[in-house]
Amino acid sequence: GAGVSQSPSNKVTEKGKDVELRCDPISGHTALYWYRQSLGQGLEFLIYFQGNSAPDKSGLPSDRFSAERTGGSVSTLTIQRTQQEDSAVYLCASSPVRTEAFFGQGTRLTVV
Amino acid sequence: AQSVSQHNHHVILSEAASLELGCNYSYGGTVNLFWYVQYPGQHLQLLLKYFSGDPLVKGIKGFEAEFIKSKFSFNLRKPSVQWSDTAEYFCAVIGYNFNKFYFGSGTKLNVKP
């Protein structure tokens, strides 16, 4: 079956531009997570969705970051006015409920 | 806040050597425990998981892990590593009331042929 799909796989953007990252979770998975992985760092939690609601947004680094999920499925992470420190691999994962998380390939974001 | 500690950041082994990677977590309640692996250029994949029952769990590719509740540990082991095990390994925890998986900082394993 299809896994978690993320697009684009790579994104290079100029500082100050907005970017949208997309995640298609595994069908039927109610939980969806966004993490980011910077070079040499571990996984940093960003946001958790249960269905369409986001009970935990505590990891979003600033108000430039926002995310939504529609139809209990696709999620979009938006970063406004990108900064160089936003450069990282953004990972999306979906999960039935607190069982294992299935990860996508990630979106490598480079802000120049 | 909860935490997951992986004590070995970078491990270098020769093929056929035995492997043990440490993982400790801070939460005292019931948890689900995981080891993920990230091969070079690939996405994170589940290696093994523990929810309940036998504390010694076996995963893919000959890996196993032992849950020791009294030590809050979930160490990963493999009796004989192969060059193809070169990857980064992450320990992860999620508790009943958690809204996220807590990950350790990862251990990079380099197996020399």
Cα–Cα distance, A37 to A51 (Å, whole number): 24
What does the pLDDT average to over A61-90?
A: 96
Cα–Cα distance, A58 to B100 (Å, whole number): 10
Nearest Cα residue to A102 out of A28, A51, A10, A11: A28
pLDDT tens digits along B70-85: 999 999 999 999 999 9
Say how many domains are in chain A. 1
CATH of domain B4-112: 2.60.40.10
Note the pLDDT of residue A1: 52
Cα–Cα distance, B93 to B34 (Å, whole number): 6
Nearest Cα residue to A62 out of A38, A48, A78: A78
Residue of A nearest to B107 (CA): A42
State the nearest Cα–Cα gap between B3 and chain A, in angstroms.
12
**Phi, psi for B84 (deg, rounded to 5):** -70, -5
| Tokens found for residue A27 | 């069908």
pLDDT tens digits along A35-68: 999 877 789 999 999 999 988 899 999 999 999 9
User: In this model, does residue A74 exceed pLDDT 70?
Assistant: yes
Q: Which of A42, A45, A48 sits opposite B106 (nearest CB)?
A: A42
Please check whether residue A79 is in contact with residue A19, taking contact to mean a CB–CB distance below 8 angstroms.
Answer: yes
CATH number of the domain enclosing A19: 2.60.40.10
Query: B107 pLDDT band (50/70/90 cuts)?
Result: very high
What does the pLDDT average to over B90-107?
A: 91
| Tokens found for residue B9 | 């950041």
pLDDT tens digits along B16-55: 999 999 999 998 888 999 999 999 989 999 999 999 999 9
Note the pLDDT of residue B95: 87
- Chain A residues with CB inside 8 Å of B101's CB? 33, 45, 93, 101
Instruction: Residue A10: give the domain boundaries.
Output: 5-111
Domain boundaries in chain B?
4-112
Residue B77 CA to its chain's centroid (Å)? 8
Note the pLDDT of residue A2: 81
Q: Which of B34, B43, B49 sits opposite A106 (nearest CB)?
A: B43
Cα–Cα distance, B88 to A40 (Å, whole number): 11
